[in-house]
Amino acid sequence: MPSNMNKLSIKAWQWGLYDFANSLANIAVSFYFTLWFVENLKGTEAGISIVVAIVTILLLCSLPQIGARADHHGHHARLLTILTGGTIVTLCALAFAAFSIKEPSLWSSLLILGIYGVFQYLYQSSVSVYTSLLRFVGTIGSNEEVRVAGVGNAMGQLGNVIGLLVALPVATTFGRPAAFLSGAILFLLFVLPALRWIRKLETKALVAPAPIKFIAAWKELRRSPDVFHYLVGYYLFADAVLTLQLFLTLYLTIVAKLSDSAKTLIMAAALLVAVAGAMLAKYIVRRMSVKKAIETSILFWAILLTLFALVSHPILFIIITLLNGFAFGVLFSLSQAYYSTLVPPEQQGRYFGIYTIFERASSLLGPLLWSVVIIAFSSYGEWRYRLAVLSLAFLVLLSLAFIRKVKDSSVAEQQ
């Protein structure tokens, strides 16, 4: 048994290396793109929201097909390599295009938004394929997937921290677009050994049905009430995460009035706490079911978001930001593992495609809700941003109503 656990630990860390690598690139875009586009290129938040919505629709139509084909042919590793390569090339293109712009204009904004959209599509598609490979690392139906997902999430947050710390001096010295290029280079360096190991996984073709059409996929999902209710709940709290991630740097600039250096240090600390949360997830489920742990994390996070929107004292702001990181680490580690126990083992690729769709579909509602609140309360100064965060806290709390409808018996018995 100890030997098996050691082997699982090694495989978990190997598995997490990809999460670490892609986080090095994604954090550079998440942290600097909105700031650079709005402040330097004189673009608008609405333009970013529109592009994200278009990408979401494209993912909505294509990810179930991509996942189903990967299941049917067993080409998960090959597909992941192609999508990863495309992501790196597109991120380099984003950096070079940004540096080539001398004066802000409509056409330059459209060019940048177009490249940004391609990056988001390729990145989210690669994450979907990567996540569907979880079943080849741990044993589905046991707590092994919690351990593996926790390690992967922790390494992803560690990648975010290192990516932020590397990007800060690069962006300060050469300009914010340089952070995109440094993220792409780091991604390439660390993803090569990760992909080499992933290619060794036994991803044989499964006895899975041929890819189904979009409408049929959703009809099939409706016949699985536990999966459907969980995904709606996941949609709502992922909505809050992705929207806050999209506009967080602006919020910290306008409300908290932090410099790039201060934002980097606080976010890096919060991400390190998220690493701890991800690693502690496996111990939390020893005392309660995975579903109960998810429900508790959601409630805790809704309270923290509410406080995040209301406090002003620097010390309280830092403490709540760190606790938000912890809740995020726990919740998303448990989420992947729990979902893998709800769906058929032979159709993980297809259903994780739908899982990513629900995650990305939140980009339709979340930025829209944020923008409506900002516009409706435009005369309230910084409070319009605080109210926008409160609206996200409401979405997180609302997700509980759907998560509670999922039968806890769907989860494997705790060891």
Q: Residue 270 pLDDT more than 70?
A: yes
In this structure, are residues 45 and 34 in contact, taking their beta carbons and an 8 Å threshold? yes
Q: pLDDT tens digit string along 92-101?
A: 999 999 999 9
Q: Which of 130-144, 248-262, 297-311 shows the lowest mean pLDDT across its residues?
A: 130-144
Domain regions of the chain by residue span: 2-199+215-410
Location of structure tokens 């390190």: 272
* pLDDT of amino acid 99: 93
pLDDT bracket for residue 381 (50, 70, 90): confident
Q: Which two tokens stand for residue 296?
A: 């508790």
Highest mean pLDDT among 6-10, 11-15, 131-135, 235-239 belongs to 235-239
Q: How many CA atoms lie within 13 A of 105 on its CB side?
A: 7
Rounded mean pLDDT of the chain?
81
* pLDDT of amino acid 72: 66
Superfamily of domain 2-199+215-410: MFS general substrate transporter like domains (1.20.1250.20)
In this structure, are residues 355 and 231 in contact, taking their beta carbons and an 8 Å threshold? yes
Q: pLDDT tens digit string along 141-198?
A: 445 555 676 677 778 878 988 999 999 999 999 999 999 999 999 999 999 998 888 8
Q: Which two tokens stand for residue 251?
A: 């919020």
Give the pLDDT mean for 324-350. 77
In this structure, are residues 64 and 350 in contact, taking their beta carbons and an 8 Å threshold? yes
Q: Which two tokens stand for residue 188?
A: 């390439």
Q: Residue 415 pLDDT more than 60?
A: no
Neighbours of 114 (CB within 10 A): 14
The dihedrals phi and psi of 381, each to the nearest 5 degrees, come to 65, -135
Neighbours of 222 (CB within 10 A): 9
Q: Residue 263 pLDDT more than 60?
A: yes
Q: pLDDT tens digit string along 37-85?
A: 988 888 877 788 888 888 888 887 787 777 767 766 667 788 889 999 9
Q: Rounded to two decimals, what is the model's pTM?
A: 0.74
* pLDDT of amino acid 414: 37
Highest mean pLDDT among 115-129, 232-246, 303-317 belongs to 115-129
* pLDDT of amino acid 156: 82
The Cα 412–Cα 407 span in angstroms is 11
More confident of the two residues 301 and 362:
301
Q: Residue 380 pLDDT more than 80?
A: yes
The Cα 285–Cα 294 span in angstroms is 10
* pLDDT of amino acid 46: 77
Q: Which two tokens stand for residue 273?
A: 């706490």
Q: Residue 126 pLDDT more than 80?
A: yes
